[in-house]
Chain A
Amino acid sequence: MSTPQNTPASARAPGISLKVANSGPVTSATRISLRQINAFYGAKQALFDVNLEIPDNAVTAFIGASGCGKSTLLRCLNRMNDTIPNARVEGQILMDGVDVNGAEIDPVSVRSRIGMVFQKPSPFPMSIYDNVAYGPRTHRIAPTKADLDALVEKSLRRAALWEEVKDRLGKSGLGLSGGQQQRLCIARALAVSPAVILMDEPCSALDPVATAHIEQLIEDIRKHTCIVMVTHSMAQAARVSQITAFFHMGQLIETAPTDQLFTAPKLEQTQDYITGRFG
């Protein structure tokens, strides 16, 4: 697909109209700073010199075509890439000023502060209660049974799932619907009170109703938490995020407040992608 290279983005055809719900400036402090991130799988480089500030109490969306490196970057943040043989990350990932890749940092302590929700809802094959209690038990957060009960209830309430499951806490988490399972996974992540929650296409396996549920939930959670979300749906990025970062072939092309990025992108490449003229 050929596009004239020198036209300023603003002069091009207007972008598809996406409803931007959460407009307004993000004023909260930076939670995560990425400095010169390069990531490799073996000899193949997946990310090139990524610099990005991720604010607290906001949703930052990563968008871009498959293979652009957005999921790789997400998995760098909680050092999930450590579990992949041959994966290597260079650069600084500062969370509250501390480098998560620092020599003295235990990846387990990083992951206990950063929750993660995956593409496919994947509760553990155990009861709903045990799913939510997994993190607190692992990190010995709730000393007594009563504390744990309270924490499980609080987490399920925050994930807007309590009313639907309160009578079946002992039943398997796998018996829930897809949307409920994903909310259970969110409750599971919330139970350890993470400072950051990473979401890797959290709604791509869900129907529109369940998606709307999760998006509402994300909007509630982000008031107290830093959320970083990878999404393939630009409409979703526009609906739920405050900051959007556009990636292409391992490079961070443009970052801007979501309403700006979708209405007046600075770069033509971004404009092409969000209007579907991506080639």
Chain B
Amino acid sequence: MKTLTPQVKARYFRRQATDLIMGGLCVFAAVIGLIMLALILWMLFSRGLAGLSLDVFTKSMSSTGTGGGLANAIVGSLIQVGIGSMIGAPLGMMVGVYLSEVGKTSRFASLVRFVNDILLSAPSVLIGLFVYQIAVSPFKGFSGIAGAIALALLAMPVVARTTEDILRLVPQAYRDGAIALGSRENEVVRKVILPAAFGGILTGILLAVARIAGETAPLIFTSLGNSNWSTDLTKPMASLPIAIYRYAGSPSADLIQLAWTGALLITVGVLLLNVVSRVSLAALKRGQG
């Protein structure tokens, strides 16, 4: 091997040191993030598990200040998040398809993209106030459906953004191949592009569901919350985030306990949804491969 001059050696050492420091900083940042996440999860589980009992799932929230469960809040959350996702996800997907496959770089598409990004970062309380104006105030009453609409408006931009990003990752060769075989634009999207991007779009939808499942502010102005059992979409409806919000600040120890349990339920619910859809997606892929 050739002997290296001192300058070359010094430069070599400097580059190696920079490499180590940069790598170390990245690991450091990742570890901090993981520690925070682990602490939150540990706290949730240690505090939340203590209050877990059959009553949580069978009894509605108590109006007397002690005891009771979260049954009405769990069902209310399922209903509102379910309807919100069912409205918001297809709308968001359509916006994403429009931006990626139809509008592309046109002026209108750029405008839609810009507005969508604003919506994406808008404080959720504003969405709640907006829906209050259009769906609560005119009907003189808080309602579950207003809550679902507010959640749909929050989910839509998330899904739109991820759908567009994912569709842009689909190789142009798929589009060219389908067009060259005589497909029309809508057939290219339906039969080739969307199936190819299915996994990614699903991830986007799950992100949106996870986000709206934990939203409190938009529900305060729309579905309000309800201590009693109610599945009537035109009446105020309970939800886990609002139950947590109310109970966490209460003076009663068992209500605070219920708030922790509710927080655990949301987290585990979102986690389960993620795991189940990933496992089924992987099984689907294995079946094809």
Contacts and interface: CB of A to CB of B under 8 A. Distances in A.
A170 B287 CA distance: 9
A68 interface: no
A60 interface: no
Residue among B171, B176, B187, B192 facing the most chain A CB atoms (10 A cut-off): B176
A122 B174 contact: yes
Interface in A53-102: 78, 80, 83
Interface in A95-154: 108-109, 111-112, 114-116, 118, 120, 122, 124-127, 134-135, 138-139
Given A171-B289, A172-B288, A175-B289, A80 B173 contact: no
Contacts of B192: 124
B15 interface: no
A200 to B, nearest CB: 10
A47 interface: no
A108 B195 contact: no
B183 interface: yes
Contacts of B177: 116, 118, 122, 124, 185, 188
B184 A108 contact: yes
A188 B181 contact: yes
A171 B191 contact: no
Contacts of A198: 180
A104 B178 CA distance: 22
B288 A111 contact: no
B120 interface: no
Nearest to B288: A172
A80 B288 contact: no
Contact of B174 (A114, A124, A175, A189): A124
B44 to A, nearest CB: 39
B187 A138 contact: yes
A192 interface: yes
B138 interface: no
A118 B288 contact: no
Interface in B168-218: 171, 173-184, 187, 191-192, 195-196
B181 A189 contact: yes
A112 B181 CA distance: 6
A124 B196 contact: yes
A189 B191 CA distance: 17
B182 A139 contact: yes
A199 B37 CA distance: 53
A112 B192 CA distance: 17
A134 B289 contact: no
Given A120-B173, A126-B288, A134 B191 contact: yes
Contacts of A139: 182
A216 B172 CA distance: 28
Contacts of B183: 108, 138
B177 to A, nearest CB: 6
Nearest to A191: B181
B182 A192 contact: yes
Nearest to A175: B289
A190 to B, nearest CB: 11
Question: B174, B182, B195 — which one has the most chain A CB atoms within 10 A of its CB?
Answer: B182
B181 A111 contact: yes
Interface string A183-209: 001001100100000100000000000
Contacts of B187: 138
B182 A111 contact: yes
> B184, B288, B289: which has the most chain A beta carbons within 10 Å?
B288
B288 A127 contact: yes
Given A138-B181, A138-B187, A172-B288, A118 B173 contact: yes
Nearest to B173: A122
A252 B178 CA distance: 30
5 contacts: A116-B176, A126-B288, A135-B181, A139-B182, A192-B181
Interface of A: 78, 80, 83, 108-109, 111-112, 114-116, 118, 120, 122, 124-127, 134-135, 138-139, 170-172, 174-175, 185, 188-189, 192, 198
Closest 9 CB pairs of A and B: A122-B173, A112-B182, A116-B180, A111-B182, A135-B181, A125-B196, A172-B289, A172-B288, A108-B182
